[in-house]
């Protein structure tokens, strides 16, 4: 069934190859004979590797390998210099090979949701055009500070992990519009978050937060999800009394009041 599909692509000018839901256990080597492909969709198969020469598809802009059996992100991907979207969610990826992001300077979307990752490599900071990064439903306990080098990043989705803290220099993400960090173990947010001047959506629900940076209310949030966090000021450590932080309860009041003022 697959060979005729590839044959038709060879004899046409189509730049898209869709082999989703074909029960594939092996990706056909013939794909590598289609160097002008721009989109390859391999969703919902049983793949755990790509052909050795897959990196020869130099014009590829979209690679969708979601819903497969990959345990490691294929190293061939690093040669896809024009790749803009990489969708690798719903696999069993435990690690990201060294150098995997080295050549992906064109990447704008990276989705690694629902894998088994414990760590994001520091070299992610080299994805200079990344606008959307999602790694929800993994086993992450920390994020590299290099993540804060992603000056074009607009959406960061890291919910359903085991994060205790966020990068100190989070405020360097000047274009960040949405931060989804719900269902973690966060105890506080970095003070620099107040510098994320374009942030409009913040989801920190279901964490261990009861204090926030003192300048937090300078943000122009349109959606702020804070439910299922500790609320009692009496739970604050006395050493926090004079620090640059607010109890969440007071912060919520300020947020509501600011919203009312904006609507007047």
Please report the domains of the chain, with CATH numbers, ordered by start residue.
Answer: 2-263 (3.80.10.10)
- pLDDT at residue 99, as a whole number: 92
By the 10 Å C-beta count (0-12 exposed, 13-18 middle, 19+ buried), 178 is classed as middle
In 10 A of CB 13, how many CB atoms?
A: 6
**Cα(161)–Cα(139) distance, integer angstroms:** 5
Q: How far apart are CA 147 and CA 167, in angstroms?
A: 8
| The predicted structure's pLDDT at residue 216 | 80
Cα–Cα distance, 243 to 214 (Å, whole number): 8
**pLDDT at residue 217 in the model:** 76
**How far, in Å, CA of 140 to CA of 158, rounded?**
9
pTM of the shown model: 0.88
Provide the 8-state DSSP code for 6.
H
Q: What is the pLDDT along the chain (264 residues), one digit of tens a residue?
A: 566 655 665 555 789 999 999 999 999 999 999 999 999 999 999 999 999 999 999 999 999 999 999 999 999 999 999 999 999 999 999 999 999 998 899 999 999 999 999 999 999 999 999 999 999 999 999 999 999 999 999 999 999 999 999 999 999 999 999 999 999 999 999 999 999 999 999 999 999 988 778 778 788 889 998 888 885 333 444 443 444 445 555 666 665 555 556 666
3-state SS class at 47: coil
């Amino acid at each position: 069934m697959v060979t005729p599909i590839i044959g038709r692509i060879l004899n046409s000018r189509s730049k898209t190859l869709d082999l989703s839901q074909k029960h594939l256990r092996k990706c056909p080597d013939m794909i590598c004979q289609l160097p002008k492909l721009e989109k390859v969709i391999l969703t919902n198969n049983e793949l755990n590797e790509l052909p050795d020469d897959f990196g020869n598809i130099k014009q590829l802009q979209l690679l969708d390998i979601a819903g497969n059996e990959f345990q490691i992100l294929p190293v061939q991907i690093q040669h896809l210099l024009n790749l803009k979207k990489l969708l690798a969610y719903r696999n069993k990826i435990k690690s990201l090979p060294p150098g995997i992001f080295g050549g992906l300077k064109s990447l704008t979307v990276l989705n690694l949701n629902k894998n088994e990752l414990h760590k994001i490599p520091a070299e992610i900071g080299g994805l200079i055009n990344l606008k959307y990064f999602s790694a929800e439903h993994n086993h992450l306990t920390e994020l590299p500070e290099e993540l804060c080098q992603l000056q074009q990043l607009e959406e960061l989705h890291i919910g359903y992990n085991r994060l205790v803290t966020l990068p100190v220099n989070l405020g360097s993400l000047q274009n960040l519009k949405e931060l989804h960090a719900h269902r973690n173990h966060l105890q506080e947010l970095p003070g620099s978050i107040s510098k994320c001047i374009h942030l409009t959506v913040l989801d920190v629900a279901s964490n261990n937060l009861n204090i926030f940076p003192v300048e937090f209310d300078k943000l122009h949030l349109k959606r702020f999800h804070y439910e299922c966090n500790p609320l009692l000021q009496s739970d604050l450590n006395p050493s926090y009394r004079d620090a640059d932080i607010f109890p969440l309860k007071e912060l919520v009041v300020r947020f509501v009041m600011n919203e009312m003022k904006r609507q007047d």
